[in-house]
Homo-oligomer: A and B are copies of this chain.
Amino acid sequence: MSEALKDFPESLQADTPKDGFALAVKLSRLGVKVTQPDMEVLKSLRPEYANNTRDLIASSQVISIHYQTIAAANNYWK
């Protein structure tokens, strides 16, 4: 697992809501990578999920859950 998480961010703090969203996307992808570390396999699967409505919506949902965490971590950038 440590290999898949080697470039994990040091902090959940993000300067802007946009940076926080990019962090949420990164965490969502790390959640896939930690389960399937083989980048060649992940690349081979891209044509499938990137053209599948259910997978695209499900991906957006994982991002929304991580974003909820990161937004709270940054006090909603108030």
Give the interface of A toward B (CB within 8 A).
Answer: 1-2, 5, 8-13, 16-18, 21-22, 25, 27-32, 34-36, 41, 45, 48-69, 71-73, 76-78
Contact = CB atoms under 8 A, between A and B. Distances in A.
Contact of A41 (B10, B48, B50): B50
26 contacts: A1-B25, A5-B22, A11-B77, A21-B30, A25-B34, A27-B64, A28-B60, A28-B64, A31-B59, A31-B61, A31-B63, A32-B59, A32-B60, A35-B56, A36-B50, A36-B51, A36-B56, A53-B55, A57-B62, A64-B65, A65-B68, A66-B68, A68-B68, A71-B72, A72-B72, A72-B76
Q: How many copies does the complex hold?
A: 6
